[in-house]
Amino acid sequence: MKKRVAMILVVAMVAMFLPFAVFAAGSREAAPVAAAPATELDANGRFTTPRTITVEIYDRGNVGGSKPEDNFYTDFIKKGMKETYNVDVVFRPVPRWTEVDVLNNLLAAGDAPDVGVTYSYPTIQTYANMGGVVDLAPYLEKHKDLLPDLWALLGDKNIYYNKGPEDGRLWAIEATRKPNNRVLTFVREDWLKKLNLAEPTNLQEFEAMLRAFKANASLLLGADAGKLIPFSLSVDVGWRIDNIANSVIPNAITDKDAYIYGYDDRRMMFPNYKEAVRLVNKWYNEGLVWKDFALYPEGDKTEDNLMRAGYVGAFIHNWDYPYRDGENGIHGGMKNIVGPDAAYIAVDVFKNDAGLYRKYLPDTIDRKVFLPSTNDEVLASLLYLNWMSKLENRRFLQIGEAGVTHVVEPNGAIKTIAVAGDKIMNSPNNIDYTIVLNGLDLGDETLNARSIALGYGGVDARYIEKASAIQYTDTRVFEHYNVGEIKAEEGMATVLKEKRNNLLSQAVVAPTAQFDRIWDTGYADFLRSGGQAIIDERAAKFAKFYP
């Protein structure tokens, strides 16, 4: 059957690239997949004969990390699945930063892992329309009684988040986020003290701080003054200016407009977004932004190394980014290289038109978990997700061994310990293994909060506490609207992402006098290449289902 489905996908992929051809050239009907009947499970819920599944695992290419497909934690998972369900698990690594491209190739070749995970739902939809993805709806209905832990963790909302409102098909379930967070702004606390500057609280103070960093490079870095970078950026400009973008988006934006213009999670199609890019372009032309940011692809460690070496004054990134990996991470490594006072601290800077430090947080969804139609073990795969959802299993994966990767404080909080070797976690709280959960969930909200602050071995808890407090100031989560498939989005994930990243990078580095021309030309191309069609179809579908 796998060869049959692979042939269908190859034919469909050829059709995809024929000029003006109908995109979904393959069959819309997924190839039939036989689920193991309940009679093949014994009284303990184990398969009577061994089953084998392959599971996607992100490879982040971490320096000093373990092999993502073969380490202490994969052994724990394999042992647990074998004992609980008589299922053998084989992990298939996929590069984290090019996962969509690699998944496209694997799906087209009929060689994708049995359990797939991605941040890109349009990628899943594209292959679902070619018959390349399992419709989970009937299997979940049939086997719900066997999946109590999956339901307890995700609930109907995340499980049926993507269910078609008309055809009832379900191509993927949504993992959950605990806690729900996104992006913050960080500055060098020790540089502020050295220059006798207060933490910035608004744009004007932030800009003055950046200029002060540049003007005092010799004082701050001595012989390395020429290496000072007041504000750092990466090729993923949209993610790295998120706080700035939030401040220029009108506070009165409606949930409807947020949906219609929200295909791109960097919100590039939101009103006023151009002005956020214009601001960073101004900084770039003042010499305040890392001049080489556009030269390094996603996943490259050059920028991290510059931060760790103590050359970067400020940046915007994931809410806990500098603190990850504890003593071995950016914050901890910088203390070892620069000195014990070196530190990054989160600040709230960018106010919107209502005077709010607005943060637009995602819904409590995360990665999308799907099964390609080459999967011959649908039930075994669903049981894998159920096993991963069980509190005792995901808890161990999130915090590891007592006395080795964590200690239990008198109040029950979990304090992590930096570790190297086979027991190192390649991702925060092993989120690459807990594919149904991004974050930390120990089964008790109070315990979660206490433990998050202690979850970065070697990092003073006050930095985490402040970051967490800022993250949840003036937040808003847009309403979820389920209108079913948006055909205009099919096959556009990679194309529009590349166009977005290229446009944003080119606009940032443009000479000031050319900014408007470069932005307007590039944005028009983005819309002409599929962005406008997505807006139009989303608007039409919204009017149909939410008149």
**Structural domain spans, the chain:** 51-180+366-394, 183-360+479-545
CATH superfamily of 183-360+479-545: Periplasmic binding protein-like II (3.40.190.10)
Q: Selecting from 3.40.228.10, 1.10.3720.10, 3.40.190.10, 3.40.50.300, what CATH number does the domain 51-180+366-394 have? A: 3.40.190.10
- Mean pLDDT, consecutive 10-residue segments, the chain of 547 residues? 46 39 35 53 97 97 92 98 98 95 94 96 93 97 98 98 96 96 97 98 98 98 98 98 98 98 95 98 98 96 97 98 92 96 98 98 95 98 98 98 95 91 93 97 92 91 95 97 94 94 98 98 98 98 97
In terms of Cα–Cα distance, which of 231, 270, 234, 242 is closest to 184? 242
Q: Using CA atoms, how far apart are residues 192 and 170, in angstroms rounded to an integer?
A: 51
Tell me the DSSP string of 15-32. Answer: HHTSTT--S--S-SSPPP
- Could you tell me the pTM of the whole model? 0.85
Q: What is the pLDDT of residues 239-251, one digit of tens each?
A: 999 999 999 999 9
pLDDT at 37: 54
Tell me the DSSP string of 172-240. Answer: -EE-EEES---EEEEEEHHHHHHTT-PPP-SHHHHHHHHHHHHHTHHHHHGGGGGG-EEE---S-HHHH
Per-residue tokens: 12: 């469909």
pLDDT at 363: 94
3-state secondary structure of 482: coil
Supply the DSSP symbol for 402.
B
In terms of Cα–Cα distance, which of 57, 49, 56, 158 is closest to 371? 56
Residue 369's beta-bridge partner residues?
A: 117, 173
pLDDT at 34: 47
Q: Using CA atoms, how far apart are residues 88 and 309, in angstroms rounded to an integer?
A: 43
3-state secondary structure of 61: coil
Q: β-pairing, 176-178 with 437-439?
A: parallel
Tell me the DSSP string of 271-330. Answer: TTHHHHHHHHHHHHHTT-B-TTGGGS-TT-SHHHHHHHTT-EEEEEEETTGGGTTGGGSH
Per-residue tokens: 318: 């994931």
* Fold match flag (51-180+366-394 vs 183-360+479-545): yes
Angle at the Cα of 78 from the Cα atoms of 373 and 421, rounded to 5 degrees: 120
The enclosing H or E element of 462 equals helix 461-471
Angle at the Cα of 285 from the Cα atoms of 282 and 290, rounded to 5 degrees: 100
Per-residue tokens: 441: 């969930």
Name the residue type at position 519. Answer: W
Tell me which residue has tokens 């009832």: 168
